[in-house]
Amino acid sequence: MAAIIAAFCGEFIATHIPAAEMPAISCSDKTLHFFAYAMLGALFAICQIIRGVRLRNIMLAGVILFPLYAFFDEITQPIVNRTADYFDWRMDMIGSIGVLLISCLAAVFLGRIAKNVKNHKKRT
């Protein structure tokens, strides 16, 4: 849980660097939003899966948490002379919830493989 909190705090700090102090970055702002939130989504999913939280509850929490957090992240950026942008928020959603969904589907798939292997070993 501490890793999730640290990652969210790190992301918040990174998105609140004053505009004048932002380093030059050679890729799209939307790409950065996508990958930053994709990493948050993956970390959130992995930590919750390890804790044994049901996948349905992980998805429900993610669908509630990520839009609210990303909205808060965007609306507080003008405080440091940055622009709140709907399209940034949208990329945050695509990255976080997309990777969250992929992580949960992977957990189901890997769980089925492990179950099949276990059943096969019992038969032999």
Quick one: pLDDT at residue 53?
94
Confidence (pLDDT) at 113: 83
Whole-model pTM? 0.85
Domain extents for the chain?
30-123
* Structure confidence at residue 19 (pLDDT): 75
Whether 70 and 92 have beta carbons less than 8 Å apart is answered as: yes
How far is CA 8 from its chain centroid? 9
Q: What is the pLDDT of residue 23?
A: 79
**Per-residue pLDDT at 59:** 95
Given a contact cutoff of 8 angstroms between Cβ atoms, the answer to whether 115 and 56 are in contact is: no
- On whether the CB atoms of residues 98 and 41 are closer than 8 A, the answer is yes
- Cα 117 from Cα 32, distance rounded (Å): 39
To which residue do tokens 């049901």 refer?
54
Q: What is the pLDDT of residue 34?
A: 96
pLDDT at 24: 80
- Other Cβ atoms less than 10 A from the Cβ of 42: the count is 17
Q: Running DSSP on this structure, what letter comes out for residue 78?
A: G
Give pLDDT, residue 25.
79
pLDDT tens digits in sequence order for the chain, 124 residues long: 788 899 999 999 988 988 778 778 788 889 999 999 999 999 999 999 999 999 999 999 999 999 999 999 999 999 999 889 999 999 999 999 999 999 999 999 998 888 777 777 777 6
Which pLDDT belongs to residue 71? 96
